[in-house]
Structure formats: structure tokens, C-alpha cells
Structure 1
Amino acid sequence: MNEKSVMKVIEGNNDFFSRFEYNQLDKGKAAGTVAVYIRELKKLDAWLKGSGGDIESITRFDVQSYIDYLVGLGRSASTIDRIFGTISVLAKYLGKTDIVEDIRKPKKQSTTAIAPKSLERNQINGLLRDVERDGNLRNIAVINLLAYTGIRIGELADLKKSNVDLKRGGELSIVGKGNKERRVPVPKEARRHLQRYLESRTDELDALFLSNYGKPISKRSAQRIVEKYGYHAHELRHTYIRSLIKKGIDIVTVSQIAGHETIEITRRYAMASQREITEQLNNLFD
């Protein structure tokens, strides 16, 4: 089905989706959540129309066929699970919950026995070198702060000048998940770049980092700074946490610095990474 055909299908079923939207909002669902439901269901509706089906008369066969179709497209197990959740909401709305019973779906691979992905030392060094060469003081401070403190990208975006103490060794006051406050040390290199950036500012705003438009930086804008260099902020966080464990800092302290909800989350970082496992296995046959 080409793009024009898909648009005709979507436009032709606006009444159904309007009723569905009203129903879900009336049940107290958040507008953003309902918007996601509708976006996914419109894709499903277009696919059904292309194979002679219809979303209002969807069958269990249709649901299984659509899941198989998504598998064929290479969608991840977590993505398919999320879409299936939306279809389950639809099934309940239609009063046809039987159409989502015993549906075959790909299983999520367990990652509890492998450490989260982190960067190698040469990758971190290359990133710090590249951002410094570009010369943007804000970006240099952002990358260095993420790399040397391991804070979450959302936590960085929420930081105020009042959350930073660049004296007495330097530390950040972070309000993380569950509104739990913690103190995170800021190494000398990160303090140096942060100080240079703050000294370049002429505004009176309390936000620690500003966007290119002079407003408090958003989480997405902060993410783009890291993505510009081919990495993701969570990779810097994972690398920082793993480096603390490799240096012999006890796991309880690491958990507190990282702001993990449970120590079990921190234990994952003490496990071997996929790359390390592969190297160990290869060495068995050398």
C-alpha cells in the first residue's frame, strides 16, 4: 500500500478514532498516551485495509498476522510488546478481549547477566577531544560533566546554579528519581570546564545550562549535544558507573552516587560486558 492509499484510509476512519479518543480521555488516560494509541492504531488500520480487514471488525487472526508482520519488519521484542499493549486497549474498547488471547510474540532477551553497554577509554578520550576542538564552552562543559559524574541527561537539564558547589572539592546536589536527593562529586577537569562556561555567561538566569536561544536547556537539547558526536548520554553514564566499580569503589557507594533505586541495578555494572564475554570465549581457542 503506497503513502497516498494509507492517508486515504486514515482520513476515512476519523469518526472511529474520534470516538476512541473521547472514550479513552473520558476514562482518565493522559492526552499524550491517547495520542500514541491513535498513532499506532492508525498504522494497524491502514495495514488491515490493505489486506481486506477493518479495525472495527478486527479478529484474533488479524492480530496474530499483524504481530507476525511486525516481526518480519525486524521490530524489536520491546517495540512489539508496546504495540500489542495498544491493541489490547483497542480490544477492551471494542468488547472483544478474546482477540488478544494466546497471541505469539517474540520474547524479550534477558540482559540481567550482561553489563549495560559502556564505552572504551579511547572512545571517551576521542569524544572529549572532539568537543573541545569544536570550542563551544557550553557543549564542552555538558560532555565533561556527563562523562565525569555519570548523572542522567534529565538530571543535567534540571540543574540550577544553586545545585553546584565548585569549591571544597566540588559537588552537585541532584534530585533524582523518586525526588531523592544525592551528592555527586565533580572531578577537577569537569569543574574547570564548567567554571569557564559559567564565566562566559552574562545573564542572570539560575539554570546551569542554556539553550542556543538563551532559555533553560531541555532534556532533548542536551541529548542532541551528545548525539552530535555519535554517542548517547546513557553510554556516558554506564561508562562512568563501570569505571567506579573497576577502580574498586564499593558497590553501595557506587549505588548512592549513581542514584539507583536498588543495589541490584548497580550489580549489573559489575558483570562482564558482551564484548568482554566474546573476548574471553575467543581466548579459549587461541
Structure 2
Amino acid sequence: MKRRKSVTNSSAIQTLKKISNDTIPTISYQEAADQFLKHCRIKGLSPETVKFYDKELKQTKRGLVEVDAPLNNIRDMTTDHIESFIEYQQKIGRAVNTINARLRAGRTFFNYCHRKSYIPSNPYDGIQQLRKRHEVGATFTKRQLKRLLDAPDVTTFIGLRDLAIMLTFAHTGIRLTELTSLRLQDISFDDKGAINVQRAKNRYARRIPLTNRLRVALRAYIQERGVLHHDYLFISLENEPMGARGIQDRLKQYGKQTGVSKEVTVSPHAFRRTFCRLKVEAGINIFILQRLSGHQSLEILKRYVEIYGRDLEDAIEQGID
């Protein structure tokens, strides 16, 4: 007798499917997120990266609640839910960068869930980052930068420290998290001197030579700092390591004091952008600038070249009769 190609006992098939589905454990969004963050810490991701995932996944959860996504069983999450989440974020006025950050975090999280077999497929598959304008943020002019660097009273410990901090930002392009992690042993005065950034964002340590002014300021500051029970470079009046918030507050204070904050937001990243801009305007090779700034990709630096590079002015008259 010839074998039939399909099974006719549909009720038996449905029963088998139900039994199969019942054996698959369900997991909630929060349970999976807790497991993911634990995985990130075990994997050795930086505290800042773990904090980023934690923050964005919490914000994503709030948004998914608003679109009635199945948070009690993420196996039922679909691409439609993610698209509804994006539309909701746009409706409440979230910036493109903010939405894209949550999409990146969500995609990574659900990739982890897929690898762990919590979900049959990633609902972020097919979801693209929102298109955004490729712009360079605000930078200081040379005059604004001079006003900021001239503001600290270097006859006081706080003033000397703050000048050393601002010069480090301005003359190296270092990130805030990199600066707060600097230790005394990361500063070398041999030959011309250098800062060795050991705890870089992309995990690749780099060396940044000291400018003459920065070398003098750091040497004077370190002498006043003295020997303490820890080796963090920048400290408070209580001799404790300065955190990111404390440094940001000091920069804001100088911004108000000098009036620069009325023109440009005074922040660590504004110093970093200014560093890149001035180097490009000076004609520094983009690959050397990448080594100095620690950018993992050239894409961002190319934006500086497009806006601030002088090669177009040099080339525009060439080939003209």
C-alpha cells in the first residue's frame, strides 16, 4: 500500500504540538534581562557598558509596556512589537540617537536570548537603525578655550587641579571615563612625557604625548597632590578620587564664570570635539589623530575632515586656467 504524504489525524498533531510547547520553559523580559546583565559582568564588559545596557533595557521595557508587548513571555515577542515600540518612542519625542541606542541594546539582548534558546528568533531581525544627520557637535573657538583655561586660580589647590583637568581634556582629547580612571603611574615625565590611557573605552591602551603646557601643569599639580592612600590622579579636597559628576560640575562652573556656557555647553565631550577639530585644522594625519583620540572607527573623524579640513581650500584653485 502506498504511503500517504500527509497525516490525516489533525487532532493528534495538535496534541503533539501542545505537548511540545508545554515542555518549552517560558521566561519573562525581566528574568532574561537579569541573566543577560549577569552574563555581561562575567564576560568582563566594562562597568560603563553594563550600566548602558541596564539603563537602555529598563527604558525599553517601559516603552514595550505602553505597546502591550508580551513581557511575561518573551517567546511571543514579534517584530511588530518592536516596530510599535519605535513608533511610540517617536510619538513621545525621543531623539534619534536615543532610539538608536535602545535599538542597539535591545538587539544585543535578544541575540543573547536567542543563543540561550529563550526565543525561537530575534524580533529585531529586519529592524534598521533610524537614519540621522551626520553632524559634528559644538566645539569651542580658540578664544573660548583660552577663556576657560585662564579662569582657574592656580594659586589655590582647586584652581591648579582644575587647570590640569581642563588642559588634559583640551590637549589630549581624552574621554571623561578615561580621565577619571587615570592613576599616578599612568603619567610619565621621561623625555617629553606622556599619558598612558590604560582603561580605554575600546580596551586598547594608548599613549598620548604631553604638550609643554600640560607637562608643566601636571608636574605642578602632582607635587601639590602629594602621597595619599590611593593612586588616583585627580582628587577632591577630601583626598578622595574625583568622580565623573564632580568633574562635570567643575566644568559647568567655569562655563558660567567665563560666560562660555551661554555660547557652547561646557562639557568633557566639547573639549574632545574641540581637540579633534583643531588637529584636523592643523592638518594632522587622520590615522595619527585616530591613535591620539582612541576612536575605534574612522567614520566619526571623517566628519571632522569634511567640515574642518583645509584640503578643499588648497584644491579649489588648482586646475583653473
Normalised TM-score (structure 2): 0.61
Match of 2:250 among 214, 218, 225: 225
**Residue 173 of structure 2 aligns with which residue?**
150
Q: Structure 1's 269 and 207: CA in aligned 2 closer, same or farther, altered over 3 A?
A: same
Asked whether the 8 Å contact 1:172–1:186 carries over to 2, the reply is: no
Q: Structure 1's 179 and 85: CA in aligned 2 closer, same or farther, altered over 3 A?
A: closer
**Residue 160 of structure 2 aligns with which residue?**
137
Residues 234-243 or 198-207, more deviating: 198-207
In the alignment, the residues of structure 2 paired with residue 195 and residue 45 of structure 1 have an alpha-carbon distance, to the nearest angstrom, of 52
In the alignment, the residues of structure 2 paired with residue 25 and residue 171 of structure 1 have an alpha-carbon distance, to the nearest angstrom, of 36
**Deviation of the 1:261 alpha carbon:** 4.0
Q: Structure 1: which 5+ residue stretches go unaligned?
A: 1-14, 274-286
SS of residue matched to 2:272: helix
**Residue 272 of structure 2 aligns with which residue?**
237
Q: Structure 1's 72 and 197: CA in aligned 2 closer, same or farther, altered over 3 A?
A: same
**Deviation of the 1:272 alpha carbon:** 0.7
Asked whether the 8 Å contact 2:139–2:274 carries over to 1, the reply is: yes
- Whether 2:97 is the aligned partner of 1:68: answer no
In the alignment, the residues of structure 2 paired with residue 250 and residue 95 of structure 1 have an alpha-carbon distance, to the nearest angstrom, of 47
In the alignment, the residues of structure 1 paired with residue 180 and residue 234 of structure 2 have an alpha-carbon distance, to the nearest angstrom, of 7
- Whether 2:216 is the aligned partner of 1:181: answer no
In the alignment, the residues of structure 1 paired with residue 62 and residue 136 of structure 2 have an alpha-carbon distance, to the nearest angstrom, of 35
Residues 75-84 or 94-103, more deviating: 94-103
**Deviation of the 1:142 alpha carbon:** 0.4
Asked whether the 8 Å contact 1:244–1:254 carries over to 2, the reply is: yes
- Whether 2:241 is the aligned partner of 1:216: answer yes
- Whether 2:222 is the aligned partner of 1:198: answer yes
What amino acid maps onto 1:144 in structure 2? L
**Residue 303 of structure 2 aligns with which residue?**
268
Asked whether the 8 Å contact 1:116–1:268 carries over to 2, the reply is: no
Q: Structure 1's 196 and 69: CA in aligned 2 closer, same or farther, altered over 3 A?
A: same
Asked whether the 8 Å contact 1:182–1:259 carries over to 2, the reply is: no
CA RMSD of aligned residues (A): 3.9
Q: Structure 1's 238 and 24: CA in aligned 2 closer, same or farther, altered over 3 A?
A: closer
Match of 2:147 among 126, 140, 144: 126
Identity of aligned residues (%): 20
In the alignment, the residues of structure 2 paired with residue 240 and residue 210 of structure 1 have an alpha-carbon distance, to the nearest angstrom, of 24
In the alignment, the residues of structure 1 paired with residue 96 and residue 248 of structure 2 have an alpha-carbon distance, to the nearest angstrom, of 25
**Residue 80 of structure 1 aligns with which residue?**
99
**Residue 280 of structure 1 aligns with which residue?**
none
Q: Determine which structure has greater relative contact order: mean sequence separation of CA pairs < 8 Å that are 6+ residues apart, divided by chain length.
A: 1
**Residue 63 of structure 2 aligns with which residue?**
44
In the alignment, the residues of structure 2 paired with residue 25 and residue 195 of structure 1 have an alpha-carbon distance, to the nearest angstrom, of 41
Q: Structure 2: which 5+ residue stretches go unaligned?
A: 1-26, 43-49, 256-264, 309-321
Q: Structure 1's 65 and 193: CA in aligned 2 closer, same or farther, altered over 3 A?
A: same
Match of 1:109 among 132, 136, 140: 132
SS of residue matched to 1:217: coil
